[in-house]
């Protein structure tokens, strides 16, 4: 899942760069408004790419999943209020 998200991120960011560079290297010679429009589209791509790259997949470990270390999991559960600490 991570590789798929990484490829999607780089594809989106590559598209962003191609739009921006081609807008001011080529398209501006024929139409400034179209070049500005291409830059506006390129400006909207990075936030969307970040959401795609940071999306949690169904098989991904989430922040509150157990880590496997019982002491650490007990400590985090205590901080989150999931379990009460036994006073011995």
Residues 16, 86: Cα–Cα separation, whole Å: 55
Cα(67)–Cα(87) distance, integer angstroms: 24
Phi, psi of 46 (to 5 degrees): -55, -40
Over its length of 88 residues, how does the chain's per-residue pLDDT go in tens digits? 678 888 999 999 999 999 999 999 999 999 999 999 999 999 999 999 999 888 877 666 566 666 778 887 787 777 777 765 565 4
What's the whole-model pTM score? 0.63
Residue 88, CB-side half-sphere exposure with 13 Å CA sphere: 2
Domain ranges of the chain: 2-60
């Amino acid at each position: 899942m991570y590789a798929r998200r990484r490829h999607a991120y780089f594809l989106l960011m590559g598209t962003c760069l191609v739009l921006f560079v081609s807008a001011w290297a080529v398209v501006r010679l024929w139409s400034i408004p179209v070049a500005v429009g291409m830059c506006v589209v390129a400006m909207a791509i990075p936030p969307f790419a970040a959401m795609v790259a940071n999306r949690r997949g169904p098989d991904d470990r989430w922040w509150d999943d157990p880590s496997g270390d019982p002491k650490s999991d007990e400590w985090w559960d205590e901080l989150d209020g999931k379990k009460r600490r036994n006073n011995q």
